[in-house]
Chains A and B, each alone.
Chain A
Amino acid sequence: MAFPRMNALGFWLTALALAVLLASHFVPGGAAVSGWTAYPPLSAIAATGPGQGLGLDLWLASIALFAIASTMSSINTLVTIVRLRCEGMTWDRLPLTVWGWFTAALLSVLAFSVLLAALLLLFCDRHAGTGFFIPPGDIVNGVVQAAGHPGNGSPLLWLHLFWFFGHPEVYIAILPGMGLTSMVLANFSRRRVVGYRLMIATTLAIGLLGILLWGHHMFVAGLNPFASTAFSVTTLAIALPSSAKVLSWIATVWRTRPRYTTAMLFALGFVSLFVTGGLSGPILAQPILDEYLHNTMFVVAHFHLIMAMAGIFGLYTAIYYWFPLVSHGRLLSERLGRWHFWLTLYGAYNTFLPMHFTGLAGEPRHYAQLIQIPNAGGRLLAGTIPLNLHITISAFILASAQLVFLYNLARSLRNGTLADQNPWEATTLEWHPRLAFGSASEVEDEAPIIVHRPPCWYLEATPGEESYLPQWSADAIHDIKRMKPE
């Protein structure tokens, strides 16, 4: 790492941010009620509700800490990738996982500082008597707020600043998972990633487009319709690189006989959920459709499938895949892993897929209560109750499935089967024998690690043990030729 201390600082600051966030539950008034988007004026004035006082201040502090922490670790990631690649590791031999992290870190550096500025403005609105985001004549609980807050502030300004961060943030969350999925699929189907260079390009293209389309969250917020059109176009454009990625994933496993390890299952699950969740994106990206769908459960279905679920599947892929590296060479139980996978997949689809239908039926998001609402609204919501019951039950199944995982984790840390040095026959450097558990002492002074080829060098034709060449292995015919005395 280029800046290990800064990276550690970033990590611990994140932990601190989490602690501050959790602490906000225990202050008078409780935690903030304005959601993850913290739209003003709800968030700008303490009188708007319980938790909008100290709770929201702690929320602001926590998110600001998190923004600083993320920026720090992103700087470390970027410089490490640019400057500290080992010999032979050219940009196009860089594993796609690293490309994912690289792009995510770039986005973090650009997006989090804008969030920080927005938080600062909001803080001033709350405590320094400014009115950046507070509209004139704002009425809260029957009291006109304009007195203490001069100016004609605009909540729309917050939306711009927030979503300039918020949209890149969703890609920050998913890009590393996309990269890892490519690598894991190729690993277990023993194929090269289809269109490796194209996958690098799409990663970067998604990153670039990702900062140009924040307005799609604001179609019904009073944006100029022409701006909506522009944002709609950039949003639909991002479907292209995303589809290219999906095609590459499918083509990589197409007609192979994959080893269905748990990591592979979760990677396949990632693809499935990404497709299901992603398809609703271009629907929402059209202002005219979003007019109806915005703030309904349809949006909730979209982003839970794609971000919450696909993102988490990416995390699980990573955990099952890399577990031997952090657990002194022990593997997670595959049998429990399969239970975990299938239950989670069942829970994920049954929880979030029906939300499309309740959303289309008009169920709004953010509502804690669906019954005992008078008049037409109540009748409309009553129709969604059966599906909501199903959703609730599935959500419980989804949550309990994670207990299987926790049990697996606890058990395997102590009693898991010991893995070989390279249990998945992976080709990337994290599986280099020198880095494997237990080999640290013998190899005090060896030749530096050198990369000789792109990752996923699986030779399909030759069956048997040596049908793949890791990046660090020098034993190809050409190499042997080259090393003969010139």
Chain B
Amino acid sequence: MPSTITPNHTDREKKRGLDDHEGGHGRRPPTDKRTGGGGDNDNWNDRPSGRRGPREKLSRARLGLFFALAGDLMFFVAIVSAFFVAQNTSHIDSYNRYVNQWLPTAIPPILWLNTAVLIASSFAVEIARRGMFRETDVMDEWLGLGKPLTRRVLPWLVATTALGFLFLAGQWVAWRQLAIQHVFFSSNPSSHFFYLITYTHAAHLFLGIGALITSLTALYASKQLETRQIIVDCTSWYWHAMGLFWIFLFALLAFCQ
């Protein structure tokens, strides 16, 4: 073996000031574009792109969110596996009868509407997310020309929040409708799961709405462009994930009872 291996991408220049961005008012514009031009490859430093630079903190937060969502996915996977186990559990009672108590819960039709609302909200939040990275606006803001991003993104975030509330209201109506039919959480193995799944998912959406409200406040309160971008970006990905989870959970409740 060679006695030493030279480090990858050593960058001995002191570029501290560039690494921690002073609220988007650093010396370099906060975009991922190479700004050196002239083929001098002035790409902040000689690392592979994406590791250091203006998006570093963003990608870090995204990765954290990704791991959190992986954990969350396992949470729902556990519940869904339990769903199938319970569905197929049966016993022989004392009269030697084969008993499987699973009575499929007919889902209230309003869930279809709710699903559509949630999908629509995902579109809204995606528009907001992309808006946060619109290059011309980002540059405007960096040059100190007001907060065009906030103006552009705010309505979409408000729309998402409204749609989120609408979805939750719709879920509430669904629970009411089932209760009128005397289907409660404790009625039947199948209804256990219907309520458990919709409740836990609703709890997740409440968290998401909390994040949306945080984003809205951040759009007003935070001076740092980067912070705002991170909060809106992570909120949107979380929201997308909850939408996706819902589609699978809804399909499970609608078609696999």
Is B truly associated with A?
yes
Contact yes or no, A114 B75, CB < 8 A? yes
Nearest A residue to B184 via CB reads A129
A287 to B216 alpha-carbon distance, docked (Å): 57
Contact yes or no, B6 A83, CB < 8 A? no
Which residues on the B side are within 8 Å of A110 (C-beta)? Answer: 70-71, 74
Contact yes or no, A157 B68, CB < 8 A? no
**Smallest Cβ distance from A292 to chain B, in angstroms?**
28
Given A110-B70, A110-B71, A478 and B3 contact (CB-CB distance below 8 Å): yes
**Smallest Cβ distance from B58 to chain A, in angstroms?**
11
Contact yes or no, B4 A151, CB < 8 A? no
Contact yes or no, B75 A88, CB < 8 A? no
Within 8 A of B (CB), among A246-291: none
Contact yes or no, B67 A477, CB < 8 A? no
Within 8 A of B (CB), among A118-163: 118, 120-121, 124, 128-132, 135-137, 150-154, 157, 160-161
Chain B interface: which of A178-186, A331-339, A375-383, A445-453? A445-453
Contact yes or no, A157 B82, CB < 8 A? yes
- Residue A87 CB within 8 A of the other chain: yes
Which residues on the A side are within 8 Å of B78 (C-beta)? Answer: 113-114, 117-118, 161, 164
Contact yes or no, B189 A153, CB < 8 A? yes
Nearest B residue to A128 via CB reads B185
Within 8 A of A (CB), among B171-216: 185-189, 192, 196, 200
- Residue A27 CB within 8 A of the other chain: no
Contact yes or no, A87 B75, CB < 8 A? no
- Residue A240 CB within 8 A of the other chain: no
Interface string of B65-103 (1 = CB under 8 A from A): 001101110111111011001100111011000011100
**Smallest Cβ distance from B119 to chain A, in angstroms?**
25
Contact yes or no, B8 A90, CB < 8 A? yes
Contact yes or no, B189 A150, CB < 8 A? yes
Nearest A residue to B78 via CB reads A117
Given A130-B186, A151-B101, A154-B86, A478 and B67 contact (CB-CB distance below 8 Å): no
Contact yes or no, B91 A135, CB < 8 A? yes
- Residue B244 CB within 8 A of the other chain: no
- Residue A385 CB within 8 A of the other chain: no
Which residues on the B side are within 8 Å of A84 (C-beta)? Answer: 60
Chain B interface: which of A13-21, A41-49, A74-82, A358-366? A74-82
**Smallest Cβ distance from A390 to chain B, in angstroms?**
43
**Smallest Cβ distance from A74 to chain B, in angstroms?**
8
Which residues on the A side are within 8 Å of B186 (C-beta)? Answer: 128-130, 150
Contact yes or no, B59 A75, CB < 8 A? no
Contact yes or no, A124 B6, CB < 8 A? no
Nearest B residue to A85 via CB reads B51
- Residue A2 CB within 8 A of the other chain: yes
Contact yes or no, A151 B86, CB < 8 A? yes
Nearest B residue to A118 via CB reads B78
Which residues on the A side are within 8 Å of B100 (C-beta)? Answer: 152
Within 8 A of B (CB), among A403-461: 445, 447-448, 450-454
**Smallest Cβ distance from B187 to chain A, in angstroms?**
7
- Residue A173 CB within 8 A of the other chain: no
A109 to B74 alpha-carbon distance, docked (Å): 9
Which residues on the B side are within 8 Å of A153 (C-beta)? Answer: 86, 89, 189
Nearest B residue to A164 via CB reads B78
Out of A118, A150, A161, which one reaches B188, CB within 8 Å?
A150
Which residues on the A side are within 8 Å of B4 (C-beta)? Answer: 452-453, 469, 476-479
Contact yes or no, B3 A113, CB < 8 A? no
A75 to B64 alpha-carbon distance, docked (Å): 6
Out of A79, A111, A152, A450, which one reaches B64, CB within 8 Å?
A79
- Residue A484 CB within 8 A of the other chain: no
- Residue B38 CB within 8 A of the other chain: no
Most buried by A among B11, B86, B99, B101: B86
- Residue A112 CB within 8 A of the other chain: yes
Out of A111, A131, A136, A448, which one reaches B192, CB within 8 Å?
A131
Which residues on the A side are within 8 Å of B82 (C-beta)? Answer: 117, 121, 132, 157, 161
**Smallest Cβ distance from B62 to chain A, in angstroms?**
9
Size category of the A interface is: 35 or more
A83 to B10 alpha-carbon distance, docked (Å): 16
Given A114-B78, A150-B101, A78 and B10 contact (CB-CB distance below 8 Å): no
**Smallest Cβ distance from A457 to chain B, in angstroms?**
8
Contact yes or no, B86 A112, CB < 8 A? no
Contact yes or no, B94 A83, CB < 8 A? no
- Residue A24 CB within 8 A of the other chain: no
Contact yes or no, A87 B74, CB < 8 A? no
**Smallest Cβ distance from B202 to chain A, in angstroms?**
14
A150 to B10 alpha-carbon distance, docked (Å): 66
Most buried by B among A74, A111, A120: A120
Contact yes or no, B10 A151, CB < 8 A? no
Contact yes or no, B74 A113, CB < 8 A? yes
A450 to B192 alpha-carbon distance, docked (Å): 56
Which residues on the B side are within 8 Å of A130 (C-beta)? Answer: 185-186, 192, 196
A326 to B56 alpha-carbon distance, docked (Å): 30
Contact yes or no, B72 A113, CB < 8 A? yes
**Smallest Cβ distance from B195 to chain A, in angstroms?**
8
**Smallest Cβ distance from B29 to chain A, in angstroms?**
23
Given A2-B64, A110-B70, A132 and B7 contact (CB-CB distance below 8 Å): no
Contact yes or no, A131 B85, CB < 8 A? no
A2 to B65 alpha-carbon distance, docked (Å): 12
Out of A83, A129, A151, A450, which one reaches B189, CB within 8 Å?
A151
Which residues on the A side are within 8 Å of B3 (C-beta)? Answer: 476-478
Contact yes or no, A151 B91, CB < 8 A? no
Which residues on the A side are within 8 Å of B185 (C-beta)? Answer: 124, 128-130
A109 to B4 alpha-carbon distance, docked (Å): 36
- Residue A396 CB within 8 A of the other chain: no
Contact yes or no, A71 B189, CB < 8 A? no
Which residues on the B side are within 8 Å of A164 (C-beta)? Answer: 78
Given A129-B186, A136-B99, A476-B3, A154 and B71 contact (CB-CB distance below 8 Å): no
**Smallest Cβ distance from A443 to chain B, in angstroms?**
13
Query: Given known contacts A151-B188, A482-B6, what 17 new A-B pairs fall within 8 Å (CB)?
Result: A83-B60, A87-B7, A110-B70, A113-B71, A118-B78, A129-B185, A129-B186, A132-B86, A152-B101, A153-B89, A154-B85, A154-B86, A154-B89, A164-B78, A450-B7, A478-B4, A478-B6
A-B contact pairs, 18 of them (CB 8 A): A83-B56, A87-B8, A110-B70, A110-B71, A116-B75, A117-B75, A124-B185, A130-B185, A150-B186, A151-B192, A152-B90, A153-B86, A153-B189, A451-B7, A454-B5, A476-B3, A478-B6, A479-B4
